[in-house]
Amino acid sequence: MSTWGTRRIIDLLRGLTRVYHRRKYGALARQMGRPGISPDGRRGFIIIQIDGLAYDHLLVAMEAGHLPYLNRMVSEGRLALTPWNSGLPSTTPAVQAAIMFGNREDVPGFRWYEKERGLAVVTKRPDQVQALQARLKENRVGILIGGSSYVNMFDGDADLALFTLSAFHPQRFFESVRGAGLLLLFLFSPLRLLQVLRRTVAGYLRALGWRLTALLRRSVFKPYDLLSPLMATAINTLFTEVQTFGVILDIYRCVPSIYTNYNTYDEVAHQVGPTHRAAFAALRDIDRHIRQIDRTRQRHRDREYDLYILSDHGNTPSVPLSWEIGQSLGHFIAAQLGEKTSLDEVFGRPGYALAKARYLVDEMRGLEQQVPPTVRRVLCALRHYVDRRVPTDPEAEGYDLERREDVVVRVSGPLAHVYFNVAPRRLDLIEVGFLYPHLLDRLMQTDAIGLVVGRVGERTMALGPGGAARSSPGGRRRSPPPIPSLPTGSRSGWPGRSTGWSGSPTLATSS
């Protein structure tokens, strides 16, 4: 057969494939009550966020073959790769606030404490994230107007916000499904069911392996906890499948703006480290979803899309401070201030595992109203099973406004915020040194603590073993001797250290 004839056959097959997928996803969108949007000639954009991936760790993963599709896009010149400065704090709430609304004012981390109101804020509580977004977007317009948001902190004014904490009117993915057809297609088709089961089993076996190592050496994992990793793996697998399915559906609907966040790598990296093989296994799975989205973007061209693949921050290898000094940061500070010091301390990894589980329970509750009685009974039993095994999140409870502790500590991974309730305002480092003369010295003399950061007037001051550095709105100044460049993982349990300082986040763009 001639080359010309071969090309014609290939073009014909591609055309038939495009027609098939357009009809298939168009029918699905109508069945879900989400009709198509007429293309207006403007280019759309798709933002894919790989939560927690530093630029250096990206290069390591690509070189080791854990991101084959991303690597191919870069090598073929279809993707431009560059590090970018996400600013401080380099945490998901601050970075997404800046991207979506151009405003990150007063977003100091994942957890913090507002002294004026005596309010503990944690950005996995929907009510608090909603209030935070309302403040951030005053007189501003989000970048996702008319678009979709999946598994994000903020919705960016998207018309459709699924698994997004700030959504004032949370929407269920299957809330408009008529009958069980779409549910059966999505979850119970043989191919999709096998894919979900295979990835769930593989992830569960990896999690069991981590717990076996906890029998031999110190670990954050509980060696005899065998059921919770199965549920966590199943939930993560379902979430990634649903959000990818939603993005593909949006491309066929010609939605102008799409922002989806894959946070499985970040969840694993917080547990075992950013370059652990388990973290890289999560990256390989994300790479597969990126391939699906990009191929759909190229195949369906009713609206042209620019593709942005970015990360919000990196991860610094660290271990709990209590492993190094035998007590938490809060108890260490309280011990320096005296026996009568009262303490309010909360610590944990930044993450959304419990929020995902609650979303899944709510999704199943919505599905029960859309399916036949037999399927409804199965879903109801499954929902109750999951609901009983999702632990209560103590941070989701209301905060007692009458409670006033002397010292409040909020720890997220290796980054901690410390508040002294001697005044209802933020204290300068000079004031802290005056009120507690030996505290700063003791903090800096502790090898497991890398940096102590605070404000001195309008400037930010960082104190460390090698000296001090200060910055101002007009630029950056250093006091000799300068702080040496921060190492990766050579110190552990640094409560003053941002999780993004192990390397700049990643930004990749493609047209």
- Checking DSSP bridges between strand 80-83 and strand 111-114, what pairing results, if any? unpaired
The CB-side HSE value for 498 (13 A sphere, CA atoms) comes to: 21
Residue type, 92: T
Note the pLDDT of residue 193.
74
CA distance 439 to 261: 40
* Domain edges within the chain: 1-31, 42-178+239-396+404-511
pLDDT 10s digit of each residue in the chain, 511 long? 566 656 666 555 555 555 555 666 665 665 555 666 777 778 999 999 999 999 999 999 999 999 999 999 999 999 989 888 888 788 899 999 999 999 988 888 888 888 888 888 888 888 888 899 999 988 889 999 999 999 999 999 998 888 888 875 555 555 544 333 445 455 555 677 777 888 888 888 877 777 777 666 666 666 556 677 777 788 888 888 888 988 998 998 899 999 999 999 998 888 888 998 889 999 999 999 999 999 999 988 889 999 999 999 988 888 788 888 888 888 888 888 876 677 777 755 555 566 666 666 776 676 677 667 777 777 777 777 777 666 655 555 443 434 456 888 888 878 889 998 888 888 889 898 888 888 888 998 888 888 899 988 888 888 887 788 877 655 444 433 333 332 222 222 223 322 333 346 666 666 5
With a threshold of 0.95, does the pTM exceed it? no
Distance CA 258, CA 250 (A): 8
Q: What is the pLDDT at residue 43?
A: 92
Scored b (16 or more CB within 10 A) or e, 480-500 reads eeebeebebeebbbbbbbbbb
Dihedral sign, CA of 273, 96, 300, 238?
Answer: positive
pLDDT recorded at residue 199? 84
The label of the residue with tokens 């005056």 reads 434
- Please give the pLDDT value at position 214: 66
CA distances for 138 relative to 91, 141, 283, angstroms: 21, 8, 36
Two tokens at 396? 């989701």
What is the per-residue pLDDT for 6? 61
Instruction: Say which CATH topology domain 42-178+239-396+404-511 has.
Output: Alkaline Phosphatase, subunit A (3.40.720)
**Cβ neighbour number for residue 213 with a 10 Å cutoff:** 13
pLDDT for residue 291: 96
Q: How far is CA 182 from CA 22, 177, 217, 357, 505, in A?
A: 16, 7, 47, 22, 37
What's the Cα-to-Cα distance from 395 to each of 115, 347, 391, 419, rounded to whole Å?
17, 10, 12, 18
**Beta strand segments in 354-443, E:** 407-412, 415-420
